[in-house]
Amino acid sequence: MTASSDLQQLLARVALGDRAAFRRLYDATAPSLFGVALRIVRQRDRAEEVLQDAFVNAWNRAAVYQAALSQPMTWLTAIVRNRALDELRSGARHRAESLEDQRSGTAPVLEDERANPLKLLEQAADALAIRDCLEAIDGPQRQCLALVYYHGLSHSEVAGHVGSPIGSVKVWLRRGLNKLKRCLEALA
């Protein structure tokens, strides 16, 4: 991964309309960002649409990016996640495209390619040195948090996935998010 200071320089140049810098920024960050989008929207073509929208957005908003407030990858990842969640939550479009996919044979991402979000959460916790804090969160809460954050599952989808009533899932998520907040706040 390109150093954050290098990405800041690239973003500053992108703000001035430097297309070569924009391409370098894309090359340096697109694989990570595409991975994030792909996990959430589940299909390559939809994830590429999300990636395109996100980079067009970044090009247009580079002038308002503030280095003092966030790291470039944080800023870009937030744009991608927001766009991916918007895409995922637009259920009508999703259903229409699913029908289209069946006809055109567009392959959805295989389930095992995006398996085990809990493992991703644990890996992130290790990288951030908050594993102990994460382990203190109850297992079901952790599982629900990982399913929502990495795969963008809704309350009802999480409930179906873990086989628990939606009411319990809502409580777990609320409590889990509060605990996760405390773990992440300790980093600051």
Only one of the segments 97-105, 120-128, 135-143, 159-167 lies at the binding site for other proteins (rule: CB under 8 A); that segment is: 120-128
Only one of the segments 87-95, 98-106, 135-143, 160-168 lies at the binding site for other proteins (rule: CB under 8 A); that segment is: 87-95
The nearer residue to other proteins, 71 or 138, going by C-beta atoms, is: 71
Of residues 20, 22, 87, the one with CA closest to residue 48: 87
Rounded least distance, CB 96 to other proteins, Å = 14
91 forms part of the interface with other proteins (CB under 8 A): yes
Total Cβ atoms within 10 A of residue 171: 15
Token couple for 84: 């991916």
Quote the CA–CA distance of 95 and 71 in Å, as a whole number.
36
Cα 51 to Cα 8, 30, 45, 176, 182: the distances in Å are 19, 8, 10, 29, 31
On whether the CB atoms of residues 134 and 146 are closer than 8 A, the answer is: no
Near other proteins in 94-113, by CB under 8 A = none
Only one of the segments 95-103, 124-132, 135-143, 159-167 lies at the binding site for other proteins (rule: CB under 8 A); that segment is: 124-132
On whether the CB atoms of residues 140 and 174 are closer than 8 A, the answer is: no
The nearer residue to other proteins, 162 or 184, going by C-beta atoms, is: 184
Rounded least distance, CB 160 to other proteins, Å = 16
30 forms part of the interface with other proteins (CB under 8 A): yes
Near other proteins in 44-83, by CB under 8 A = 44, 47-48, 51-52, 55-56, 59-70, 73-74, 77-78, 81
DSSP 82: H
Rounded least distance, CB 111 to other proteins, Å = 15
**Residue count (the chain):** 188
